[in-house]
Structure 1
Amino acid sequence: MKVGIVCPYSWDVPGGVQFHIRDLAEHLIRLGHEVSVLAPADDETPLPPYVVSAGRAVPVPYNGSVARLNFGFLSAARVRRWLHDGTFDVIHIHEPASPSLGLLSCWAAQGPIVATFHTSNPRSRAMIAAYPILQPALEKINARIAVSEYARRTLVEHLGGDAVVIPNGVDVGFFEGAEPKAEWQSDSARDPDGGDGGRRGGTIGFIGRIDEPRKGLPVLMKALPKILAECPDTRLLVAGRGDEDEAVASLPKEMRDRVEFLGMVSDEDKARLLRSVDLYIAPNTGGESFGIILVEAMSAGAPVLASDLDAFAQVLDQGSAGELFANEDADALASAAVRLLGDPARRAELRERGSKHVRRFDWSTVGADILSVYETVTDGAASVAADERPGFRARFGLARD
């Protein structure tokens, strides 16, 4: 099958949607399908052979964050050219309601279209206001996927229709088979049979953009003094981009050496980090429709403590596969972290439950579900082509080739 996948966000600024699209493309390629991904990308960005650049993106506030999107006359022309050259059996558009390549592709394409909705924002006034513009494009979609029940709810409430829920996928084996890194492990983790020597604490992990408040690092920093007061041998490993000095500014100076910033890490080091920590904490405060980092942490065997966002609770099986604390409550976070760091048996229980629960998110399951959707919409259909109707071309002032 020839599959065209549309990525709305810039390929050179990694995020959950980009990772999902990358992993989906590579999973399909391993199965023998022919895949092309259209994505915004700067000229100097190294791209995998299956990615086609739609040009440079610009930063735009979107869904409580800043997304790098691509829109306009030149982008529309590149979308049409990609569709024309690809002769795809199906195109899979991610975030078709965002002002980027997804919406342009909806406008431009004729033929089998599958769309995945990642956003969970039950109070999106912008989406409601934009509905008259979005409606003609969204009506061309043959099948809709939502990555969670909360993303599906946003779609239903704001755009109408419905969607099948298929979660984001993870290569469970990749994280499960990663080698822990000794320098990131606590003494007790390195020598589980040697006793803890009276040490109180362990290694906590956090992965996310440091300078994006909704990822929750400020909440964790606020909780850290109380954690260190009870578990003085604890240290926090932080992986992600952002201002490191600003991140620790609220901490007493004598505690700042308990935080180690790793910067941006490779996929391999992310897996090794998650395999090394005694506890992974996800203190995100909102704007999450799924929680891929939780799935990755469970895949690596890390006990998870997360804020009780609806999407996180769903991923963690309502607290069965990982513990939850009250969102934005630093005291609740600190109390739960202290309890878990002092309870190896409970952490082992969470590892076991998480490792079993996470199998439903493996690409062997998720990929098969997505392929079933592709097969449903392509059964007896012609391949995807660029929309040659005068109305589309006039919208962007494009001359006929």
Structure 2
Amino acid sequence: MFVNPWPGYAKQREFGVERAVHDWVFLIDTDEVVSEELAQDILDRKPGLTDRAVAFSLYRIGDFLGRWLDKGEYLVRLYNRKEYGIRNSLVHEMPEVSEEKTVKLNGILWHQGFRSINDHVARFNKYTDLEAQTAYASGKPFKISHLLLRPPARFLQKYFLHGLFKKGISGFAVSVFWVMYEFMVGFKHYELNSSGRLARHNAMGQAEKEKKGREAMPYSDGLNIMTTGLSWPSLQPGGLNTYFKSVCEQLSSRNKVHALICSQETPSTPKELIIHNAGDPKQSIWKRKDAFQRKAADLMGNGSGRIDILYSHFAPYGIGPAIEAKKRGIPVVMTFHGPWNEEMKIEGQGIKHRVKTTIAKSIEHKAYKLADKFIVLSEYFRDMLHSLHGVPLHKIIVIPGAANVERFVPAANRLATRRTLNLPEGATTVLTVRRLMNRMGLLQLLEAWKQVSERFPNAILLIGGKGPLRGELEGKISDYGLANKVRLLGYIPDHELASYYQAADMFVVPSQALEGFGLITVEALSSGLPVMATPVGGNKEILQGFRPELLFKGSTSDDMAEGMIHMLGNRKLLPGRDECRNHVLEKYTWQHVGDQVESVFLETLGKGVAAGC
């Protein structure tokens, strides 16, 4: 695999072609699939590829709103790189081959290019920018007749001549998009022609030209995003920090991200992800809150476009930056990771603690009033945000979390992994990884394990994590006589976590309350490890759509004991490694999350523009 900073479509094609091993090159994009007939035709022709002057075109058909569009186009994709080069253009970058030199291949190249309406509009805007720039740069004059006649002519061509009227609403929508495409290309060409300032729009230029171009087309080259979080998982382990790091890294692959965290240390990150140490963990919560606001104000400047959108993840640290964003007309999107004050209530008591939870709720409420949109990781948290803080449902978008599918993979040699971790080779190993707190259900799990160990004396329970409940857990393990049946692993270093997933036979999530998503659930499944969980919060949503029988009947110790005993006694009922992993690959990857979050940003920004913000 070769990685190259984005230089433009044509130059990126050339970069790949130059690194091909052979002279005959077949061009295919990541959202394209070769039909069996096309693949066979290519293979049949392969031995006879002797004439370098011949190139091959293939028929590409796209999709829209879940329907394939019958009318496609022929594109040259198989050619000899010694004979032809890539056309140096901003858009439609293909080999420069005349039509008489091309031979049409049999079969179809399926183009799965449609992701969502928001994504379609964003790419549509980018391509019309590029096509208008190409027309202007080539010296073509703007003609009012083109602007008036080409859009309706394109509709007639697509809807009637190409038969899109047969495709129902999808065909009509595609035809309308083509009308808009022709109109926008023409009108953008007019804008460029009348202004005479090509440098502001030419995406082929140097860095200064690109910077000026972003002033006229602020989102075509990615967004400038400010994110506020708690910390970084390498500095402060936890689900919120893991999510924050992962989504920031994913967004930075196509945008510039400024991440504000509370830390005196700066973790290493990709180039486009810049960490700002906005607060000191040793300071009071009020000083940290003010520090985040000052840092945000400094980065936002006078609001002239340095930051496009604020993306907040922790209410106490997000409220100050949100205030600064509102002063400058910058939209605010918040991810609700759970009710901070409700979590505090569960873990403490007394008057002093009650005062703290009241203050926490007040901070949350004020922060949430500043948000334009909310992202939640589950329907459970959507309903909670709506009921606790009165946020209208239309402002809340559910985007489930994800697992790092490159890191969390099934073991190549499971026995070797178990030996490395010093686990008994013949024992049935059940794993859980939790912060040691009341709402995590570990006390109920230990009580359930008494019954499990009686039925399966060769089974061992591993509990990873640290927290205030450790002393009580140690006492219960001793009282229940489980010293040889349960291991408290303490905090599992990040680099070892994947190995524990790989080594275990089953994972269990015994949550009692406020389980917003279940990051560890999808990490375990991605590793090929079956998961059983209480029907609480996000875990219910993950497993209900996968294997409902993996959910305990309830959250009591008896419910957990019954479920584990049943599954461990009927191991064939557990899903296999591939089934577990495929469920995650289909629904819970960070690419999925990043695409959906970007769509929310673009929608929010679009509404802000329409409202004159």
* Fold equivalence (TM over 0.5): yes
**Structure 2 counterpart of 1:23, one-letter code:** S
Residues in 2 aligned to 1:14 and 1:70: alpha-carbon distance in whole angstroms:
23
Contact conserved, 1:90 with 1:113, CA < 8 A, in 2? yes
Q: Does structure 2 conserve the Cα–Cα contact (< 8 Å) formed by 1:208 and 1:215? A: yes
What corresponds to 1:84 in structure 2?
301
* Match of residue 47, structure 1, among 243, 267, 270: 267
Structure 1 partner of 2:192: none
- Alignment partner, residue 323 of structure 1: 550
Structure 2 counterpart of 1:142: 372
Task: State, as a whole percentage, how many aligned pairs show the same letter.
Answer: 23
CA deviations 1:277-328 (Å, max 9, x no partner) are: 1110111111211111111111111111111113221121267266122444
Aligned residue for 1:141, secondary structure, equals coil
Separation (CA, whole Å) in 1 of partners of 2:497 and 2:286: 26
Deviation of 1:47 after TM superposition, in Å, equals 2.4
The aligned amino acid for 2:392 is: G
- Separation (CA, whole Å) in 1 of partners of 2:249 and 2:508: 29
Per-residue CA distance 1:95-143 (angstroms, 9 max, x = gap)? 4xx3x11111111113132221121699899599739962xx5454333
Aligned counterparts, 1:172-183, within 5 A? 172-177=405-410, 180=414, 181-183=417-419
> Which one has the largest radius of gyration?
2
Query: Does the CA contact (< 8 Å) of 1:4 and 1:91 recur in 2?
Result: yes
The structure, 1 or 2, with the larger RCO (C-alpha pairs under 8 Å, 6+ apart) is 1
Counterpart residue type for residue 237 of structure 2: P
> Does residue 35 in structure 1 map to residue 260 in structure 2?
no
Equivalent in the alignment of 1:356? 582
Q: 2:592 aligns with which of 352, 358, 365?
A: 365
State whether residues 232 and 244 of structure 2, in contact with CA within 8 Å, keep that contact through their aligned partners in structure 1: no
SS in structure 1 opposite 2:403? coil
Q: 8 Å contact 2:532–2:552 — kept in the other structure?
A: yes
Paired position in structure 2 for 1:278:
505
Give the one of 422, 425, 449 matched to 1:187. 425
Deviations 1:47-104 (A, max 9, x none): 23432112123699xxxxxxx8864444432332233399222221124xx3x11111
The 5-angstrom pairing of residues 39-118 of structure 1 reads 39-41=261-263, 43=264, 45-49=265-269, 50-57=274-281, 71-84=288-301, 87-95=306-314, 98=315, 100-109=316-325, 110=328, 111-118=330-337
> What's the CA shift string for 1:359-388, capped at 9, x where partnerless?
201112111111112222334968xxxxxx
Classify the secondary structure of the residue corresponding to 1:187. Answer: coil
For the 8 Å contact 2:232–2:242, the answer to whether it is kept is: no
Q: Which residue of 2 aligns with 1:265?
A: 492
- The CA distance in 2 between the partners of 1:87 and 1:164, in whole Å, is 26
Counterpart amino acid of 1:279?
A: M
| Residue of structure 2 equivalent to 1:202 | 428
| Higher mean C-alpha deviation, range 217-226 or range 80-89 | 80-89
Rounded to whole Å, the distance in 2 between the matches of 1:182 and 1:129 is 45
Question: Is residue 250–residue 594 contact of structure 2 (8 Å, CA) maintained in 1?
Answer: yes
Query: Structure 1 residue 354: deviation in Å?
Result: 3.1
Q: Deviations over 1:149-191 (max 9, x none)?
A: 1211122222322311111122223212555422356635xxx
- Does the CA-based 8 Å contact 1:58-1:70 persist in structure 2? no
The Cα shift of 1:263 comes to 2.2
TM-score (ref. length: structure 1): 0.77
CA distance in structure 2 between the partners assigned to 1:70 and 1:274 by the alignment? 39
Name the counterpart of 1:161.
Answer: 392
Question: Unaligned stretches of 5+ in structure 1?
Answer: 61-67, 189-200, 383-401
C-alpha contact 1:301 1:355 (8 A) present in aligned 2: yes
Change (3 A) 1:7 1:58: same
Q: Deviations over 1:1-43 (max 9, x none)?
A: 22211114676332211111100111223x24221210112x3
SS of residue paired to 2:507 = strand
Q: In structure 1, what is the equivalent of residue 249 of structure 2?
A: 26
What amino acid is aligned across from residue 159 of structure 1 in structure 2?
G
Greater alpha carbon shift after TM alignment, 73-82 vs 318-327: 318-327
CA RMSD between the two structures: 3.2
* Cα 1:307–1:101 shift into 2, 3 Å: same
Q: Distance in 2 between matches of 1:122 and 1:75?
A: 20
SS of aligned partner of 1:284? coil
Change (3 A) 1:329 1:71: same
- State how far apart, in whole Å, the 1-side matches of 2:582 and 2:589 are: 11
CA distance in 2, matches of 1:270, 1:81: 38
Q: Distance in 1 between matches of 2:470 and 2:361?
A: 38
